[in-house]
Structure 1
Amino acid sequence: MPKIRAVIFDCYGTLVDIKTNEDKDEVFNYVSLYLQYYGGTIDAEKLKYTYELEKDQLLRDSDERYPEVDLEQVFERILLKEGMYCPFLAESCCKLQRLISRERFQLFPDTLPVLREMRRAGYPMALVSDAQRVFCWEEGRILGISQFFDHMIVSTDFGFKKPDLRLFNVVCDLLNIPPAEAVYVGDNYERDIKGPKDVGMPVIIVDRNAGKEHKGIEPDAYVNDLWEAWNWIRNSG
């Protein structure tokens, strides 16, 4: 295996410890109340129903094998139908929905120390994440990790998500590094192995709960935390 010269991370579940629940009553209750400030009359029940309807429609309209839905676009469609569209309102609804749905939002204890070690060692770093552009970068900034990444590839910018191999080709082009000389560090067996492997990139799976069952393509390494991933990377090649 060639020497690893760049590190590409998944975000949520790998670096960021997050739990969300969009089904909580408060989520759409508060978004509905917020819209009243802009003349909205849509109640929470209708808002939630329309939200799911528009999400499903965007998925059906996509020709992608692994389609991604931009939630800002979902709210834009809702607001247009309600006759109350204005440029910033869909973005604000997305961020409010995200804030209310969060039940846990923090870094894993090893995230910052390992990112600092990698930066000191001179490794270019990037993110490839199934995430919403409207809040992903800002959440990284809030938690203090955005500064470490040279590039951030977010699925909603492309309309498709992992394991689509194109996301990994894009990040390698931006880093100007062959896939075999980068490594992808993720946590999800279904989404984080096939894509990078399809372009010839090694994969490390961080299994913090140790012992998840997995059938399918194997990663190059299973580790329990980011420190073990860092040791694997340093000793590569």
Structure 2
Amino acid sequence: MKTYIFDLYGTLIDIHTELHNHKVWKALSDMYACYGAIYTPEQFKQAYLKFNKEEWKRVEELHPDTYIDIQFKNVFKRLFDEAPIHTEVLPIQDIETWLLFVETEFRRLTRIRCKPYRNTIKTLQTLKQQGHQIILLSNAQRSFALAEMGICDLIPYFDHMYISADYGIRKPEKVFMQKVLDDHQLDVCDCVMIGNEVGSDMQVAASCGVTGILLNTAHRKEKVIQKELESLQQEYPNFQYQIITSGDILEILGE
């Protein structure tokens, strides 16, 4: 049995989000107003951008020289706490549940496209039928990832999921993948990391001694990708990799 460790976005799911739409900020400011936190749409947008940037800076200062990840709920909590005007409207009975709702609504409003790549489902089905283990290793917020995996019908195929915001670290931080290997006592010789980014997916695989398969779903020039991977191989001489330029992940099965 092999273990296939998959990235999510750009590998299994073709997704596009958009922040520069007035309707997004109007809907979010209206929602906050229902709970007494009053913003204009533009005020909400600017506060979100500011608080998001400051949250990244805060966490990076706590963990220097580490590829960290943040919890978006902290940004949305601060947006509520520091609203320009507060009025008594609807009380929030359970702040954690409310923040989860806000997160998922934010993602729904900003999501323009979300669909599995061609043959994503067929590949996962084939791997599962062959008895292989399938693990997710994604840089994401759990609320975003689970919702979008649900939309694309991917959840049933995964034996385990590792999502960066849950751990406060993200690829290519070595300890993120190492946790997967340690938790399940995996032999790196029996593992394959499949992703679409050299500096994230392939680097974390190389650092842990796991074979990498790079899916060129962005249709970058193969010569450029090859040069990046060769540079990575200089740092990790034993790193083995394969490039799939078509983006058809069924090719990893040799079909």
CA shift for structure 1 position 90: 1.9
Q: Residue 98 of structure 1 aligns with which residue? A: 107
CA shift for structure 1 position 51: 1.4
User: Identity across aligned pairs (percent)?
Assistant: 23
Q: Which moved more, 1:128-137 or 1:63-72?
A: 63-72
Q: Which runs of 4+ in 1 moved over 3 A?
A: 82-85
Report whether the alignment pairs 1:30 with 2:40.
no
Equivalent position to 1:220, from 221, 225, 241:
241
Alignment of 1:188-203 (within 5 A): 188-203=197-212
Is the CA contact 2:13–2:114 (under 8 Å) kept in the aligned structure 1? Answer: yes
| CA distance in 1 between partners of 2:135 and 2:99 (Å) | 28
Is the CA contact 2:193–2:213 (under 8 Å) kept in the aligned structure 1? Answer: yes
Equivalent position to 2:41, from 35, 44, 64:
44
Alignment of 1:98-137 (within 5 A): 98-137=107-146
Q: Residue 75 of structure 1 aligns with which residue? A: 76
CA shift for structure 1 position 210: 5.5
Q: Which moved more, 1:50-59 or 1:163-172?
A: 50-59
Counterpart AA for 1:221: Q
Q: Residue 59 of structure 1 aligns with which residue? A: 56
Give deviations 1:70-115, integer Å, cap 9, x for gaps: 2122101221223676332222221111111111111112100010
Report whether the alignment pairs 1:211 with 2:182.
no
Q: SS at 2:192's partner residue? A: strand
Q: SS at 1:30's partner residue? A: helix
CA shift for structure 1 position 230: 2.1
Q: SS at 1:192's partner residue? A: helix
| RMSD (Å), alpha carbons | 1.9
CA shift for structure 1 position 162: 1.0
Is the CA contact 2:135–2:160 (under 8 Å) kept in the aligned structure 1? Answer: yes
Report whether the alignment pairs 1:162 with 2:139.
no
Compare relative contact order (CA 8 Å, sep 6+) and give the higher one, 1 or 2.
1
| CA distance in 2 between partners of 1:53 and 1:99 (Å) | 21
Q: How many residue pairs get matched?
A: 229
| CA distance in 2 between partners of 1:151 and 1:104 (Å) | 25
Q: State TM-score, norm by structure 1.
A: 0.89
CA shift for structure 1 position 173: 2.2
Bigger fraction of residues in helix:
2
Is the CA contact 2:32–2:80 (under 8 Å) kept in the aligned structure 1? Answer: no
Report whether the alignment pairs 1:151 with 2:160.
yes
Q: State TM-score, norm by structure 2.
A: 0.83
Is the CA contact 2:114–2:148 (under 8 Å) kept in the aligned structure 1? Answer: no
Give deviations 1:137-186, integer Å, cap 9, x for gaps: 12212221111111111110111211111111111123321223211000
| CA distance in 2 between partners of 1:100 and 1:189 (Å) | 30
